[in-house]
Amino acid sequence: DTEVTQTPKHLVMGMTNKKSLKCEQHMGHRAMYWYKQKAKKPPELMFVYSYEKLSINESVPSRFSPECPNSSLLNLHLHALQPEDSALYLCASSQVGSEKLFFGSGTQLSVL
Amino acid sequence: KNEVEQSPQNLTAQEGEFITINCSYSVGISALHWLQQHPGGGIVSLFMLSSGKKKHGRLIATINIQEKHSSLHITASHPRDSAVYICAVRETSGSRLTFGEGTQLTVNP
């Protein structure tokens, strides 16, 4: 299994909603990443988890809250988002220290 | 100025044409990646290079470390090659990938 699975594929939420994005991989990767991608722009790194511990937070607003409950799962909890947070949210994983990243298909998020 | 510059930004080709996408960077790197992103979002890693040349099917990637330049070539292009191609580098001093702006490739039948 060389897949990174993200759910849901699409999400529409209001600014007062609380929702979560989910990412799962079963490749034994111990590094997992959240990226945000606006239309026609490259991905921007948000968070990195290494061995289930948060190792990088790229000064992301607290309305985005990551969680890594185990080595296969990565969540991104969303609360009180703004319309400008509408974007494609991509999850990726890798072996720790490896260059090769495996990306999921992303969750297209619209905040109304 | 971006640390990673790609050219062209947009490229339209006819099926069967030979395609070249270029990537220049301004920092010392430990690795360079070529990624493919289809409409709908998913990103696929095509190549990871630290020197020389790699080939996979109709795709060839080269890197010149001295000139800080890499190229991605597609031979006998096909409409299914239509996608955004992204160059990304990992700086020798950093743990993050720095992405180029991407090249939108459209191959017409």
Per-residue pLDDT tens over the stretch A56-72: 898 899 999 999 999 99
Q: Residues of A with CB below 8 A from B95's CB?
A: 48, 56
User: Of B30, B40, B102, which is closest to A105 when you measure between CB atoms?
Assistant: B40
What pLDDT is recorded for position B1?
59
Structure tokens at A97: 């220290």
pLDDT band at A99 (very low <50, low <70, confident <90, very high): confident
pLDDT for residue B94 is more than 90: no
User: Any alpha helices (H) in B1-109, and if so which ranges?
Assistant: none
What pLDDT is recorded for position B56?
95
pLDDT for residue B88 is more than 80: yes
What value does the mean pLDDT take over residues A34-60?
Answer: 93
Yes or no, beta carbons of A42 and B86 under 8 Å apart: yes
Structure tokens at A43: 């991905």
- Measure the N-to-C terminal CA separation of chain A; round to a whole number of Å: 36
Q: What is the nearest CA distance from B25 to chain A, expressed in angstroms?
A: 15
Query: Looking at residue A83, what DSSP letter applies?
Result: G
pLDDT band at A49 (very low <50, low <70, confident <90, very high): very high
Q: What is the nearest CA distance from A67 to chain B, expressed in angstroms?
A: 20
Pairwise pLDDT comparison (B42 vs A27), residue with the higher score? A27
The candidate with the shortest Cα–Cα distance to A76, out of A4, A13, A2, A7, is A7
Q: Residues of A with CB below 8 A from B105's CB?
A: none
Percent of chain B beyond pLDDT 90? Answer: 82
For A85-97, b/e burial (b = at least 16 CB within 10 A) is: bbbbbbbbbbeee
The candidate with the shortest Cα–Cα distance to A88, out of A106, A102, A76, A66, is A106
pLDDT band at A97 (very low <50, low <70, confident <90, very high): confident
What pLDDT is recorded for position A1?
65
Residue pair A33/A100 in contact (Cβ under 8 Å)? The answer is no
